Structure 1
Amino acid sequence: MIGGFAFVIYMGHLYIWAMVVVIQIFMAKELFNLLRRASEDRRLPGFRILNWHFFFTAMLFVYGRILSQRLVNTVASDKVLYKLVSKFIKYHMVTCYFLYIAVSLVNSGSVWFILTLKKKMYKYQFSQFAWTHMILIVVFTQSAFTVANIFEGIFWFLLPASLIIINDVAAYIFGFFFGKTPLIKLLPKKTWEGFIGASVATVISAFFLANVLGHFQWLTCPRKDLSSGWLHCDPGTLFKPEEFTLPEWFPEWFSWKEISILPVQWHALCLGFFASIIAPFGGFFASGFKRAFNIKDFGDSIPGHGGITDRMDCQMVMAVLAYIYHQSFVVPQNLTLEIIIDQIMMNLSYEEQRDLYAQLGLMIAIGES
């Protein structure tokens, strides 16, 4: 699994996105089956197809919103494809809405659902309908942030994901060797010693891991289209090393008098703090959920480890935190030339862009005269 994950990272943004989609499908399958009753389903032919209809409609909506600009950039050189894509983006929301309503009205808030309602099955059908929508919110809301992080630069996906793994391993090691004080009643094997030791190890690891990852353009460059070619970009100030002189009180045996630090390493400390203090509670919540339903694991997709959902509980929480942090403290809050150009490409037709270009040229000519 580690080798496969490393290979996907090496292949790039599109392959990582595909991996996230596969993970989503497995998570949805495990959660759909959690409250499923085979005896009831046999009396409702086609009922499970409805769940997957909602799932793929949600996928079209979420990824259409996130990747629309990248899609525009990919086909910008082809006028025919550009016009088709522009139409798709323009009517994207209404398309997804009618895909949802058409099948949904039949099935309970949507057309298909309502038409399939059967006597003595109402409670089961409506509970499954509500459960399906809760799954869509949990799975897509969080994984959408993951995909957004990937296209902002693999760094912003790989670093948070790695910190969760480091925290999990460190908590086990510190808990095994030093754990004595129970952390929470829900999980008696979790200890304060393991929690605190893992927190310190995660924050320190975040600082140094960010320095290693930050030197690779393949990981730090954002992907502006849906191609798979190698990336080259100006790394920006976050990934340009700064020299710091060590204070005089440092021991003489320490040979380095100056150290090189990437500014992004200071942001990594915050992500390390989140990964060690907040993200574990996603795992605690999942454990409480499983106990409520008297199950050991969400599924058996990974032999010996349970289901995909069991492995992704903390990762999903961390992905949301990483996205919010990146958008709040890393991305420039003011309008930039790049943002303006992206908006022009997304919202103006080819002819409107040419008119804008002509008007800007006229304005510049008048200003120079």
Structure 2
Amino acid sequence: MIKETESTTHAGRIRRRMGSTEIPADANGKQLLVNDQNKYKSMMIRAYSSVWMIGGFIFVVYMGHLYIWAMVVIIQIFMAKELFGLLRKANEDKQLPGFKHLNWHFFFTAMLFVYGRILSQRLVNTVTTDKLLYKIVANLIKYHMVTCYFLYIASFVWFILSLKKKMYKYQFGQYAWTHMILIVVFTQSSFTVANIFEGIFWFLLPASLIVINDIAAYIFGFFFGKTPLIKLSPKKTWEGFIGASVTTIISAFVLANFLGRFQWLTCPRKDLSTGWLQCDPGPLFTPESFALPGWLPWKEVHVMPVQWHALGLGLFASIIAPFGGFFASGFKRAFKIKDFGDSIPGHGGMTDRMDCQMVMAVFAYIYHQSFIVAQSVSVGMIFDQIVMNLSYEEQRELYTKIGQIIKDRQFGES
């Protein structure tokens, strides 16, 4: 009788668990991620948010380089806001009026320094037709570094003067935390902006691959996920990881062919205007023909050289970039939070969406500078660099020296 009661009680517990929010278990007692019933609601919320984000992203990309840069700045501000809030304490902040503003002063000083260095030459190219404006901009750029330095010193002095007894530990902790945020956010996002002006292609392809990998991992994990991948992210599964990797690499090859057909995506932006771009696509974006075996219905296939490079980006996006997400998961566990914020329904905060993107942006820039730029040098590009970076007097001096070199060689050969 006692055994029957215990058996009935045990069966009742199992039924209650199956009807609760817990994930059902298999015969061996292991939880099956694929049978989680609560995930359907979160999937719909996540899907709606994803549609809106992708739609907005496409619109911004269509608008051009400056609008993409503005989007990156807005994302940075959201990320900084989320990260600043992690270590803030309400009671301490009340005793330190204006201390929050100090963090943002550091933030915008870093923004001025980073983007000033990246966009200075393009700003000069934009105002070359107006002599007065050109002189003003040239002087601003000339003293850009010293201006940023004294703005930082002003923040440093502000911090020292704001030190309050019994609050030193909290204040110095915030000071160190602020600088770590600046390093993480600006060091990586500066590569993103550099990619944008090298050609939207070099921003759009890596960013799209991360989105594709994230969506594919979610879908494969949703329908087939059974084996947990890493303890830092319990919802990540091997099935989702492998399925997403294959999908991302294939997508990279196909997407590069599609994006490489549009000059306004592949041309670098050399100024800060918003007009459409046209340029010589160069050998990187010129399709090459490859003969196929006779038993196939197609005789040949056309492949752009950039598609082979895209495979490298796809491989990194599918295998290494997800570790940015794992790092973020460990970071959140350390602070005992589920998400960095709640600005994106179903996705968490902006930082939750940008963890892998930051890692990918750095790799894309390094890959472009290491393997693409060296292969893309042409007479036209050298001429453009001369026009952009040398003054009129320096161009005349270069012209004279090149002419003299050519004459010397002609006499030497004769």
Give TM-score, length-normalised by structure 1. 0.91
Would the aligned equivalents of 1:86 and 1:349 in 2 still touch at CA under 8 Å?
no
**2-side partners of 1:4 and 1:173: how far apart?**
22
Would the aligned equivalents of 2:284 and 2:376 in 1 still touch at CA under 8 Å?
no
Q: Is 1:78 equivalent to 2:121 in the alignment?
A: no
**2-side partners of 1:76 and 1:364: how far apart?**
30
- List per-residue Cα deviations over 1:176-227 (Å, max 9, x = no partner): 2322222112222222221111111110110001001110111111101100
1:215 matched residue in structure 2: 261
1:147 matched residue in structure 2: 193
Matched to 1:62, the amino acid is: V
Count of matched residue positions in the alignment of Structure 1 and Structure 2: 357
Q: Is 1:258 equivalent to 2:300 in the alignment?
A: yes
**2-side partners of 1:26 and 1:61: how far apart?**
19
Distance 1:84 1:345, change over 3 A: farther
Deviation at 1:315, TM superposition (A): 0.7
Matched to 2:359, the amino acid is: V
| SS of alignment partner, residue 332 of structure 1 | helix
2:397 matched residue in structure 1: 356
- List per-residue Cα deviations over 1:5-62 (Å, max 9, x = no partner): 1111111000000000000001101111111111111111111111111111101110
Determine which structure has more spread, i.e. the larger CA radius of gyration: 2
Q: Is 1:42 equivalent to 2:94 in the alignment?
A: yes
Matched to 2:285, the amino acid is: F
Would the aligned equivalents of 2:199 and 2:265 in 1 still touch at CA under 8 Å?
yes
1:242 matched residue in structure 2: 288
Q: Percent identity?
A: 78
| SS of alignment partner, residue 374 of structure 2 | coil
2:66 matched residue in structure 1: 14
**1-side partners of 2:382 and 2:305: how far apart?**
23
2:242 matched residue in structure 1: 196
Q: Is 1:268 equivalent to 2:310 in the alignment?
A: yes
- List per-residue Cα deviations over 1:205-264 (Å, max 9, x = no partner): 10001001110111111101100011000011110000000134xxx3x32110000100
Q: Is 1:304 equivalent to 2:343 in the alignment?
A: no
Distance 1:243 1:341, change over 3 A: closer
Matched to 2:338, the amino acid is: K
Distance 1:237 1:362, change over 3 A: closer
Matched to 1:46, the amino acid is: G
Distance 1:28 1:339, change over 3 A: farther
Alignment of 1:93-108 (within 5 A): 93-104=145-156
Q: Is 1:323 equivalent to 2:375 in the alignment?
A: no
1:176 matched residue in structure 2: 222
Distance 1:340 1:260, change over 3 A: closer
**2-side partners of 1:184 and 1:238: how far apart?**
38
Matched to 1:162, the amino acid is: S
Distance 1:140 1:79, change over 3 A: same
2:142 to 75, 82, 90: 90
**1-side partners of 2:54 and 2:350: how far apart?**
15
Q: Is 1:128 equivalent to 2:174 in the alignment?
A: yes
Would the aligned equivalents of 2:283 and 2:305 in 1 still touch at CA under 8 Å?
yes
| SS of alignment partner, residue 160 of structure 2 | helix
Matched to 1:273, the amino acid is: L
1:342 matched residue in structure 2: 385
**1-side partners of 2:167 and 2:357: how far apart?**
36
**2-side partners of 1:357 and 1:242: how far apart?**
37
| SS of alignment partner, residue 234 of structure 2 | strand
Deviation at 1:159, TM superposition (A): 0.5
1:33 matched residue in structure 2: 85
Distance 1:153 1:222, change over 3 A: same
**2-side partners of 1:137 and 1:333: how far apart?**
31
Would the aligned equivalents of 2:163 and 2:171 in 1 still touch at CA under 8 Å?
yes
**2-side partners of 1:216 and 1:331: how far apart?**
19
**Runs in 1 of length 4+ with deviation above 6 angstroms?**
333-336
| SS of alignment partner, residue 264 of structure 1 | helix
**2-side partners of 1:366 and 1:79: how far apart?**
36
Matched to 1:168, the amino acid is: D
Would the aligned equivalents of 1:69 and 1:342 in 2 still touch at CA under 8 Å?
no
Instruction: Name structure 1 gaps, 5 residues minimum.
Output: 105-110
Deviation at 1:150, TM superposition (A): 0.4
Q: Mean Cα displacement is larger for which, 94-103 or 258-267?
A: 94-103
Would the aligned equivalents of 1:72 and 1:86 in 2 still touch at CA under 8 Å?
yes
Q: Mean Cα displacement is larger for which, 65-74 or 177-186?
A: 177-186
1:108 matched residue in structure 2: none
**1-side partners of 2:225 and 2:406: how far apart?**
73
Q: Is 1:56 equivalent to 2:102 in the alignment?
A: no
Would the aligned equivalents of 2:289 and 2:302 in 1 still touch at CA under 8 Å?
yes
Would the aligned equivalents of 1:281 and 1:314 in 2 still touch at CA under 8 Å?
yes
Would the aligned equivalents of 1:241 and 1:261 in 2 still touch at CA under 8 Å?
yes
Q: Is 1:314 equivalent to 2:366 in the alignment?
A: no
- List per-residue Cα deviations over 1:313-360 (Å, max 9, x = no partner): 1111111111111111101279865357536744x555x336526744
Matched to 1:208, the amino acid is: V
